[in-house]
Amino acid sequence: MLDGDILDLSAEGIDRLSSLLEFEGLVAQLNNLAQQNLPRHKLAQVKLLSPLDKQEVWAAGVTYLRSKKARMEESDFSATAYDRVYEAPRPEIFFKSVPEKVVPMGDAVGIRKDAKWNVPEPELVLILNSRGHLVGYSIGNDMSSRDIEGENLLYLPQAKIYDRSCAMGPFIRVGASEAEARTWTIQVQILRQGNLVFRGDTSVSQIKRSFDELAGYLLRSQTFPHGVALLTGTGVVPPNDFTLQVGDRITIAISGIGELENEVREV
């Protein structure tokens, strides 16, 4: 259950994330708005949408040693590709979702009908504005089908992009530096019929590359007029005999942000 109030900025004419992302001195401006007499709603009584409106979602991969190891275990002839990309100057970055397909807090994430080995990937999300400036952070779930990904590297888009494969929320945390974000922990827990079937954690400090490096490659020869969200890779991988089932409840907690919770559905 989320606690606290939310402020309705639409009374000030602010009803799009795209415009908010471009504000100079966003934190000070939000603090000012918080002092004004704007309409407020109890967080527990509203339905949170995805934090994005027009921003594409991209994802970095193999940014943690744990991810490299897992990818190499699941794959056969493509194993060395993961080894190489972990060390290479250019990171792995792939397209993940259009904004309208992003699953918000509380809605169902998907596992594919034609996949047998499915996992959540709990990831810190960087929210960048149109100039590539890091404005905030959110929590993301890069749902993945490991059997499809492991069969052939060229199947990566099918393992990663399908209905309900990207969750994000519950909101965007602003005003934290990269140094602060690197002190945060990421934890995931999965409940099946109320019983804990997996729990794992990592630290943002384990991401091999700097946020500037990841954002810099994403923005090479590519513009995002409304800003963009970038998942930064997973450092938590369940054991190889684990797969998600319909009805599982996934909770991802990032210490500096909050919790993202979603149930699993077949798509």
Structural tokens at position 103: 């699953």
Binding site for ligand DO4 (CB under 6 A): 59, 61-62, 67, 71, 92, 121, 142, 149, 156, 233-234
Helices in 61-109 by DSSP H: which ranges? 65-74, 79-87
Cβ closest to ligand DO4, residue 21 vs residue 93? 93
| Least gap, CB of 114 to ligand DO4 (angstroms) | 18
Cβ closest to ligand DO4, residue 59 vs residue 128? 59
- Could you give the angle at the alpha carbon of 182 between the alpha carbons of 178 and 187, nearest 5°? 130
Cβ closest to Mg ion, residue 75 vs residue 234? 234
Residue type, 204: V
| Least gap, CB of 208 to ligand DO4 (angstroms) | 11
The owner of tokens 């795209």 is 18
Binding site for Mg ion (CB under 5 A): 121, 142, 234
CA-based Rg of the chain, rounded to a whole angstrom? Answer: 18
24/28 Cα distance (integer angstroms):
9
Asked whether the beta carbons of 135 and 21 are under 8 A apart, the reply is yes
Nearest residue (beta carbon) to Mg ion: 142
| Least gap, CB of 234 to ligand DO4 (angstroms) | 4
| Least gap, CB of 146 to ligand DO4 (angstroms) | 9
Nearest residue (beta carbon) to ligand DO4: 61
Buried b (16+ CB within 10 A) or exposed e, 235-247: bbbbeeeebbeee
Cβ closest to ligand DO4, residue 21 vs residue 252? 252
Q: How many CB atoms sit inside 10 A of residue 128's CB?
A: 23
Binding partner of residue 67 among Mg ion, ligand DO4, none, CB under 5 to 8 Å per kind?
Answer: ligand DO4
| Least gap, CB of 231 to Mg ion (angstroms) | 6
